[in-house]
Amino acid sequence: MLLVIDVGNTTTVIGIFDDDSEGKLIAHWRLSSILHTPDELGIYILNLLSTQNIKANEIHGAAFASVVPPLNFSIREAVKKYFHVTALEVNGLTDTGMEIRYLAKREVGADRVVNAVAGREKYGAPLIVADYGTAITFDVVSPDGAYIGGAIAPGLNSAIGALFSNTAQLPKVALEIPTSVIGHNTNEAIQSGVLIGNAGLTDHIIDLIREELKVDAKVVATGGHAPLMAKVSRNIDYVDPWLMLEGLKFIYNRLNNK
């Protein structure tokens, strides 16, 4: 089995892929991104696997991508000590099989490249990947299959947190779609501004990207808030919450000739 780990600023997603020919995602967990020692992290993962009756010796490979550098050492050491494999660390310089046409390749986040690889593999090119996490990222795969860049905006929780932290009377509200754009209380007004507002941001950026590409590229949404945003955006064609995990699998298999 293959262990994959996607370390984000807010959440860490862990997945297990089966060894069969289809390589199905058989288990996944979405956790808070908290700094751990290698032992803490190793035991944590072992406990998660035990809930699915997966033993440590069934893990034959591992891959991870991280936007939280302080966690990288713990992940590498935990995987080595508790699963006896060397984890593949995927970053902007990894041979993913995708050409990177970004002016500063070292600056592009590993998560963005991995999403693009998985999106191209599953949905073809050209493609726009919208990832709804701590930040909202739009990543573009050109018609000939290269990663060419995108856009970054504050995420939904980041926007609500900023309102709560920087104002005296606005509450921190739950992310729920309001019944109308015109909020009839403060909670509804914030939900409208954040959710409907970000749907407008999503649709406008996608429209402009399509204009620049001169082609009607498909759009896949991923990340924890993707299902929610798909309900209020008119431009999202597919929802794939575990796209990042599949990208790590594709890259691992490529580099191990599977």
Write the pLDDT tens digit of every residue in 187-245: 888 889 889 999 999 999 999 999 999 999 999 999 989 999 999 999 999 999 999 99
**100-159 pLDDT tens trace:** 998 877 788 889 999 999 999 999 999 999 999 889 999 999 999 999 999 999 988 887
CA gap 24, 28 in Å, rounded = 11
SS3 (DSSP) at 234: coil
Whole-angstrom distance, CA of residue 70 vs CA of residue 196? 35
- Catalytic residue at 111? yes
Q: Which parts of the chain fold into alpha helices (H)?
A: 38-50, 69-83, 110-123, 156-166, 186-191, 197-213, 226-230, 243-255
pLDDT, mean over the chain: 91
Residue type, 60: H
CB count within 10 Å of CB 56 equals: 14
Measured CA to CA in angstroms, residue 8 lies from 13, 31, 55, 71, 112 at distances of 8, 10, 26, 10, 11
DSSP state letters, 65-102? EES-HHHHHHHHHHHHHHH-SPPEE--TTS--SS-B--
The answer to whether the predicted template modeling score (pTM) of the entire model surpasses 0.95 is: no
Long-range contacts, 100-105 (Cβ 8 Å, 24+): 100/146, 100/147, 101/142, 101/146, 101/147, 101/148, 101/149, 102/147, 102/148, 102/149
Q: Quick check: 17 and 63 in contact, CB under 8 A?
A: no
Contact of 3 with 16, CB cutoff 8 Å: yes
Distances from the Cα of 86 to the Cαs of 3, 62, 75, 82, 83, in angstroms? 11, 7, 10, 11, 9
* List 19, 95, 111, 203, catalytic entry: 111
Return left, alpha or beta for 81; rule: phi > 0 is left, psi -120 to 50 is alpha, else beta. Answer: alpha
Residue 255 pLDDT exceeds 90: yes
What is the Cα–Cα distance from 16 to 28, expressed in whole angstroms? 6
Domains and CATH numbers, the chain: 2-89 (3.30.420.40), 124-242 (3.30.420.40)
pLDDT per position as a tens digit, 151-197 = 999 988 887 777 767 776 667 777 888 889 998 888 888 889 889 99
